[in-house]
Chains A and B, each alone.
Chain A
Amino acid sequence: MVAHLLRLKLALLRNSFRRSPWQLVGVCIGGLYGLGMVVFAVSGTALLADADVALANTILVCAVSLITLGWAIVPLVAFGVDLTLDPARFTTFTISRPRLATGLLLSGFIGVPGLLTLLLLGSQFLAWRRDPLALLAALAGGVAGTLMCLALARLTTTSMARLTGSRRFRDVAGIIAIIPLILLGPIIGSAAEGIETVLDWLPRLAAVLGFTPLGVFAALPGDLAAGAFGLGAARLVLGLAYLGAVLWAWERGLHKSMENPLAPHTGSRSVGMGAFDIFPATPRGAVAARALTYWLKDPRYAASIVVVPLMPVLIWFTSTNAGNPQLMLVLGPLLGILMAFAISADVSYDSTAFSLHVLTGVRGVDDRAGRVLACAVFALPVTLLAAILPPVFLGRTDLLPAILGISLCGLLAGLGVASVASARFTYAVPLPGESPFKTPPGAGARMAVVQLATFTIMSVLLLPALGLLVAQVFTHQALFGWLALVVGVAEGAGLLVAGIRIGGRWLDARAPELMQAVAANR
């Protein structure tokens, strides 16, 4: 039975590649990237063999604890990381609980994250290769530690299923969870400044973690290497007890959730006509009203601009670290481009609901213009603020016209380019109702290509206004700044109109093909 479940997982993985070869390519690239990271980490681990036992122990325990914590938390917020073998799907089969639990647990090894974790944790033995006993303990501890990761991931998802099953929770938590990830860079950056205090503090942290489920198996070889056999034995018993407890709690939760499958959660909140009362009663206005409603209600849209409020913080950290506050001046153009490109996946986000646009025969131009309008409702004020505030606070009001010109050019031209792009290309995006951060396999590589192309195009389009800014900086002639404003706005407006027209024409010609493309994304 366990073997059946493993084979099922393998078959599901294989069949997902059969649908689209590009997905396989994406997974390969992602796998190679992950493998690269693993090789990097493993070579680091190997170097630890020559280091002090206590230092090696500290580093390994902290690293393994971090990985284990990740397994426990990430599936909660990036929901559906692995729902291919959702326990709820096995309710109608007569599989004994222990077997189902074992099968589900071991199936976690099949897949890129599970394998990489096994590799990473298993490689700990390299650090202990000088001591045969510690080496063996590290090997066993690595496997047990990986099991602990998988079990914890299962436990947290099962026990939180009731909470995470509600749409509201999923909508909010997914977005909030990404915020610390984005700020990770600055946090580490400022932590690096106090690296000395951290180094003092790390061994104590490792000592504590070594007695928690997170790091207990990683601390085991260190004990043996240091000759503390009694402590090692105690830790082994403790670790196995933890693993047993986690497995027991998960199995119990699994049992409970299978006896009482989740009833579909029905909301009861009533809504009015919202944006439909604000925009004019034209096809264009209707598209804008609908798109704006989605910006507010669909977490996938919110996720695409969640970086916007964090961007000033990020750049502020970077600029203070670099000792050059002038860096804040890039905020306006950057946010303008970023928000403009939020609509480049609009049709992909619609998924097959886009059929309504095809069936009603709404003109492509109206479709494009409506979506641009909805985005501009908040993108324009934000870009204006981001362009105006930094020069004012930095006392560089002389640069204000040029910065404003570049920012507006970035926003308007970006909206134009995005209008064309989303009429032609669809991406594999999270489906409506899915977690905004659930990336379909292989989407990462494609996203990177698209973003590279985007920023190449945008940097070319911004050249005239940027050139005028450079001219102003070198000649100190305010005239060039004003010219940058005029040129930027004119160029941006021109490209926006052209983008809406061209995108609209493409949409008119290719609506059925676009419809098939989003249908294939299901």
Chain B
Amino acid sequence: MSNSIEEPGTPALSIRSLGKRFGEKVAVNGISLDVPAGSFFGLVGPNGAGKTTTLSMATGLLRPDAGQVWLNGIDVWAEPLKAKAAMGVLADGVRLFDRLSGRQLVTYSGLLRGMDRATVVERTEDLLRVLDLEDAGAKLVVDYSAGMAKKIALATALIHSPRVLVLDEPFEAVDPVSAANIREILTDYVTHGGTVIVSSHVMDLVQRMCSHVAVIAEGNLLAAGTVDQVRGPVSLEERFVQLVGGRGNSEGLSWLHTS
């Protein structure tokens, strides 16, 4: 499957029977999923559903126990370098090289990918500008707030203008203005042929922003398709709760009523 010549209709990301267990716990239970090229794909699920594990295996960070992943038709685990060149990844819950300044970190990410200095410098400045980090660019990342750190990590994922973006919780701790800016960048990127895969807890956001959505819970894929297909006549949030279940009885905490 080393065919990198893209035939029309090749999914941007194609996952087949992907599985991972940690000890006794099955984190991802044989998920198969296609992300169409040019889609804005939302991956939603409750805490501990296996979103991050799935995305880690899809991006080459975590070796799957079973199954295969193709990115633009390139087998991620057979030809990792080729696949990694085509994707930009914002991983969740990892550290950054935070003793570098923001500008150094983005530059580092570009140079690691073998880009030439002139392009790296130009794009770094562009990214810092649109992400509203121009002033913070010379400061050490260790002194950044959580939202700023998220934005600089996003910049490191964008610098090589990848074909596919995989973003794990990109809006966490990001202020509303920056979040709107990021959404605009991503929407613009999709209109010009890129594919975005985001994981999120915020259903409202996914419903407004994404064209496609997949719901996973306890390591299983519960539904996938266009947002309208998945949600049907109700809102995505309602549909999500129906699928995942586990809504508690809110009458349970009667002692919490203060009056």
Contact = CB atoms under 8 A, between A and B. Distances in A.
Contacts of B83: 361
A234 interface: no
Interface stretch (B38-46, B59-67, B243-251): B59-67
A508 to B, nearest CB: 8
Interface in A265-281: 266-274, 276, 281
Interface of A: 167, 266-274, 276, 281-283, 285-287, 289-290, 293-294, 297-298, 350-353, 355-363, 432-433, 511-513, 515-516, 519
Contacts of A358: 60-61
A360 B113 contact: yes
B112 A287 contact: yes
B19 to A, nearest CB: 15
Given A267-B143, A271-B140, A512-B60, A361 B84 contact: yes
A281 B112 contact: no
Nearest to A280: B117
A68 B219 CA distance: 54
A267 B142 CA distance: 9
A290 B108 contact: yes
Interface stretch (B88-96, B173-181, B207-215, B230-238): B88-96
B116 interface: yes
B78 interface: no
B113 A516 contact: no
Contact of A512 (B63, B95, B113, B138): B63
Contact of B61 (A274, A353, A433, A515): A515
Contact of A361 (B62, B81, B98): B81
A353 B107 contact: no
B104 A359 contact: no
Nearest to A355: B94
Nearest to B84: A361
A359 B95 contact: no
B138 A272 contact: yes
B112 A286 contact: yes
A220 to B, nearest CB: 49
Interface of B: 59-63, 80-81, 83-85, 89, 91, 93-101, 103-104, 107-109, 111-114, 116-117, 120, 138-140, 142-143, 156-157
A359 B112 CA distance: 10
Contacts of B157: 359
A283 B94 contact: no
Given A361-B60, A361-B80, 13 more contacts: A267-B143, A270-B139, A281-B120, A283-B114, A290-B97, A290-B104, A293-B104, A351-B95, A359-B61, A359-B84, A361-B85, A363-B81, A432-B95
- For the residues of A in contact with B, the DSSP-based class is helix
A286 B113 CA distance: 10
A268 B140 CA distance: 9
Given A270-B138, A281-B116, A294-B99, A512 B108 contact: no
Given A359-B61, A359-B84, A359-B89, A352 B142 contact: no
Contact of B62 (A281, A360, A515): A515
A419 B163 CA distance: 33
27 contacts: A167-B142, A267-B140, A267-B143, A269-B139, A269-B140, A271-B104, A271-B140, A272-B138, A281-B120, A294-B99, A351-B95, A353-B96, A353-B97, A355-B61, A356-B109, A359-B59, A359-B91, A360-B84, A361-B80, A361-B83, A363-B81, A432-B95, A433-B142, A511-B60, A512-B61, A512-B63, A519-B94
A293 B142 contact: no
Nearest to A366: B112
A432 B100 CA distance: 12
A304 to B, nearest CB: 15
A286 B108 contact: yes
Contacts of B93: 352
B112 A283 contact: yes
Nearest to A361: B84
A43 B101 CA distance: 56
Contacts of B99: 293-294, 297-298, 432
A283 B140 contact: no
Contacts of A516: 62
A274 B108 CA distance: 12
Contact of B95 (A267, A283, A353, A361): A353
B139 A512 contact: no
Contacts of A512: 60-63
A432 B149 CA distance: 15
A356 B95 CA distance: 9
B107 A273 contact: yes
Q: Which 4 A-B pairs have the closest CB atoms?
A: A361-B84, A286-B111, A281-B117, A270-B138
Contacts of A352: 93-95
A297 B143 CA distance: 14
Contacts of B101: 270-271
Contact of A356 (B60, B97, B103, B117): B97
A409 B112 CA distance: 30
Contacts of B91: 355, 359
B244 to A, nearest CB: 27
B104 A360 contact: no
Nearest to B57: A512
A234 to B, nearest CB: 53
Contacts of A350: 97
A289 to B, nearest CB: 8
Contacts of B120: 281
Contact of B156 (A290, A356, A519): A356
Contacts of A272: 138
Contacts of B142: 167, 432-433
A432 B95 CA distance: 9
Contacts of B116: 281
A195 B53 CA distance: 64
B88 to A, nearest CB: 8
